[in-house]
């Protein structure tokens, strides 16, 4: 008996390790969310740049800027929802694999998955609104001349 300590000290040390692991996982999750938002923004900005001529034609034929903005935003929402659905399907086996590391967490927490999916779809939609707003301010003559 060399390392005699009170039970409270032993429990505090164990909780500190779990808190550090939780903070590390939260940091990686936040970084992944940021990368996903930047990736979707890049894809949507590229798609908008490629469709500039089409948007000019739509404007010339009578589409309103708000209709074009909602068209691009819907594309971003669709991509985000599809990504969240694929993520849920792929994350269930990982949740069971990581379930042994996380104490007090349900493996298939439906509410947790729903909140995370809602946050991902919201962030994805917000990342798509910046290129969508750019389309709303597009000049039809400039758009028709672009290649």
- Those residues whose C-beta lies under 8 Å from the C-beta of residue 36, and which sit 6 or more positions away, are 83, 120, 123, 124
17 found inside a domain: no
Check residue 23 and give its pLDDT. 92
Helix (H, G, I), strand (E, B) or coil at 115: helix
CA distance 139 to 27: 42
Task: Give the per-residue pLDDT at 44.
Answer: 84
80 is a domain residue: yes
Give SS3 for 136.
helix
Q: Given pLDDT bands bounded at 50, 70 and 90, which one contains residue 123?
A: confident
44, part of any domain = yes
Annotate 89-122 with b (16+ C-beta within 10 A) or e (fewer): eebeeebeeeeeeeeeeeeeeeeebeebbeebbe
Residue-level pLDDT at 79: 84
| Per-residue pLDDT reduced to its tens digit, 9-57 | 777 777 788 888 889 989 998 999 889 888 888 888 898 888 888 888 8
Domain contains 125: yes
Whole-number pLDDT of residue 147: 65
Query: Residues 62-119: pLDDT tens digits?
Result: 888 889 888 888 888 888 889 889 988 888 888 777 777 766 667 777 888 888 889 8
The reported pLDDT for the residue numbered 28 is: 95
Within-domain flag for 141:
yes
Identify whether 68 is part of a domain. Answer: yes
Residues of the domain holding 111: 33-145
**13 occurs within a structural domain:** no
| Helices (H), ranges, the chain | 7-50, 52-60, 65-98, 110-136, 140-145
Residue 124 buriedness (CB in 10 A; 0-12 / 13-18 / 19+): buried
- Number of folded domains that form the chain: 1
49 closest CA partner among 143, 140, 128:
143
């Amino acid at each position: 008996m060399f390392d005699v300590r009170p039970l409270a000290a032993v429990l505090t040390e164990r909780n500190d390790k779990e808190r550090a692991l939780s903070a590390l996982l939260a940091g990686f999750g936040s970084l992944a969310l940021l990368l996903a938002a930047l990736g979707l923004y890049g894809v949507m900005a590229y798609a908008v740049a490629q469709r500039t001529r089409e948007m000019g034609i739509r404007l010339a034929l009578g589409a309103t800027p708000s209709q074009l903005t909602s068209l691009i935003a819907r594309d971003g929402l669709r991509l985000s929802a599809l990504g969240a659905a694929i993520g849920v399907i792929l994350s269930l086996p990982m949740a069971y694999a990581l379930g042994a590391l996380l104490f007090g967490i349900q493996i298939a927490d439906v509410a947790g998955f729903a909140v995370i999916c809602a946050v991902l779809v919201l962030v994805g939609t917000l990342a798509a609104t910046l290129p969508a707003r750019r389309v709303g301010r597009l000049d039809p003559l400039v758009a028709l001349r672009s290649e």
